[in-house]
Amino acid sequence: MSPEGPQLEFLDLIDGLEQLVIESRRLPVGGNLVIDRRRLLDLIDQLRLAIPADLRQAQQVLEARQQIIDDAHLTARRTLERAEQERARLIDEHALTRAAQERAQQLLMDAEARARQIIAEADATAAAHLSEAAEATRQELENLNRYTREVLQRLERLLTQLLGSVRDNLEQLDREQS
């Protein structure tokens, strides 16, 4: 799913909410609106479902990070086991000769160094992914908040206009009755 997918879905739902208000009937007295309760509650439920997409994406990044670390540990453990097996094989094969011991020790040191390197690389990769996901989530939330504010401000202006129209009509009725 593209990063804009959840945002577009959320924005479409906000637009649907705005359209519901615009399409609602006005009561003749008081300027209140008659809004389809079921439709409004359905839109609110859909909004709730649309928001957590970023949180699920962040959770997936955390799980991917853990998988990378687990894989690195497994690779390191296997490398150490192979080095230890090679060391034992060399010792047996050369009847405890000095050359076999030195080679085995070198293999073990190399394996440990490689294991440390693999773990460090996995940690760096996971941290980079986590940082990117956090930044993307932060930007997504900023965009959603900005858009929500704009929609609510438009809605406020519309309602203010409607209220002004209702007041004007009431004043006109009062003048006509006087």
pLDDT of 60 over the 90 cut:
no
What length does the chain have? 178
For the chain, give every domain's residue range: 1-51, 58-168
Q: Is 24 exposed, middle or buried (0-12, 13-18, 19+ CB in 10 A)?
A: middle
Q: For the chain, what is the mean pLDDT?
A: 83
42-58: average pLDDT: 75
pLDDT confidence bin for 153, thresholds 50/70/90: very high
Residues 78-136: pLDDT tens digits? Answer: 998 998 998 888 767 766 677 777 888 999 999 999 999 989 998 899 899 889 888 98
Identify the CA nearest to 108 among candidates 90, 74, 81, 70.
81
Cα atoms in the 13 Å half-sphere on the side-chain side of 90: 18
Residue 42 contacts residue 17 (beta carbons within 8 Å): no
The H-assigned helical ranges of 3-97 are 4-23, 37-50, 53-93
What is the model's pLDDT at position 155? 87
What is the model's pLDDT at position 2? 42
What is the model's pLDDT at position 77? 92
- CA–CA distance, 30 with 42 (Å, rounded to integer): 26
pLDDT of 1 over the 70 cut:
no
Buried residues in 122-151 as b, exposed as e (16+ CB within 10 A): beeebeebeeebeeebeebeeebeeeeeee
What is the model's pLDDT at position 27? 80
145-173: average pLDDT: 90
What is the model's pLDDT at position 55? 64
